Structure 1
Amino acid sequence: MPPAPHAPPPASPRAPRWLWPFMLLLGSATMVVAWSSLSLATGRQHGWIALLAGLEAAWMLRLGGMLPGWPRRLLAAAATLLMAVLVQWFVVSGHIGAQMGLAPWEAAPKMGAFYVWTLARLANSWLDLLCLGLAPVLALRAAR
């Protein structure tokens, strides 16, 4: 019996290298909308979601084909930090804007940074602050 011919190994499905910006933008936008909606609906900050946001940012960059290394790690940490800031801004805007009959996206441009900072500091518990602080570190580690 002749030996079976070797078939070439199947090509591994890899994302194109240019796909990562779109995946990071789409993943971050959906995370901000979902996290803000949950926080506004329940009246709590849900800081633990920041850890999921960090893992999601790292995952989107990996799936999008960005090369490993420090640029990917720093971008994942920066995206996580930006998501946390945007969520805090939208949640504060949602609560204050609701008193004026505005949607969160309508009230957000009208909010000052110091006002948002003050209200976010008052609204977050120590556990929320801990999770918000650890999330960029987790993203930095997960995106290696």
Structure 2
Amino acid sequence: MPAPDTSHPRWYALPLLALGAIGFAAAWMLLALALDRQCAWLAPLAAVDMVLLLRLADWPRGMSRAAWATLATGAVVAAANVLIAAGQIGQSFGMRPWESALKIGPAYVWLLLGLAVTRIDLVLFGAGLLLALWAGLSGRRRAPSAR
């Protein structure tokens, strides 16, 4: 039986990545609102999750996987932080985070994030992006077949 061809990306890899990013951002937001913290330590976990999703979809390792994983990790970090800020404001008005996210503007979100995000959080966000880049570039090679 011939080995499967993994040189071409699978068609379902990017929808899977988008779905995983949305789910991770929502989980991050819920945890942060429950703990009343930014939970920036989730950024490296988001990077590992994005790389793992691409790897499970047989996306070929290299610059392409690294770029998509880094882009998805950045999107998760940005979306989670916007939803956390919107959730904090929405609680005051009895609104859900996604409802208040549609009502507050980007300047207000930027102001709130400037007040809430510390330097340690920024370091963890950067570590998540670098981890996604590194893990996307590297990858375990398949073991040689005994045949």
Unaligned runs of 5+ in 2: 138-147
CA distance in 2 between counterparts of 1:48 and 1:76 reads 17
**What TM-score do you get using the length of structure 2 for normalisation?**
0.84
**What TM-score do you get using the length of structure 1 for normalisation?**
0.85
Count of residue pairs the alignment pairs up? 134
CA RMSD across the alignment: 1.8
AA at the equivalent of 1:93: A
Instruction: Say if 2:17 is the partner of 1:31.
Output: no
CA distance in 1 between counterparts of 2:87 and 2:103 reads 11
Would you say the 8 A contact 2:29–2:84 is kept in 1? yes
Q: Which residue of 1 aligns with 2:39?
A: 46
Q: Which residue of 1 aligns with 2:120?
A: 127
Identity %: 37
- The partner residue of 2:56 within 45, 58, 63 is 63
- The partner residue of 2:108 within 111, 115, 135 is 115
CA distance in 1 between counterparts of 2:25 and 2:34 reads 14
Instruction: Say if 2:136 is the partner of 1:143.
Output: yes
Q: CA deviation at 1:116?
A: 0.8
C-alpha distance after superposition, 1:50-90 (max 9, x if no partner): 11001111111111121222121111101100100000110
CA distance in 2 between counterparts of 1:28 and 1:86 reads 9
- The partner residue of 2:14 within 18, 21, 24 is 21
Of 39-48 and 106-115, deviating more is 106-115
- The partner residue of 2:70 within 67, 77, 88 is 77
User: Secondary structure at 1:51's aligned position in 2?
Assistant: helix
Q: CA deviation at 1:26?
A: 2.2
Q: Which residue of 1 aligns with 2:142?
A: none
- The partner residue of 1:90 within 54, 71, 83 is 83
AA at the equivalent of 1:20: A
CA distance in 2 between counterparts of 1:134 and 1:34 reads 20
Q: Which residue of 2 aligns with 1:101?
A: 94
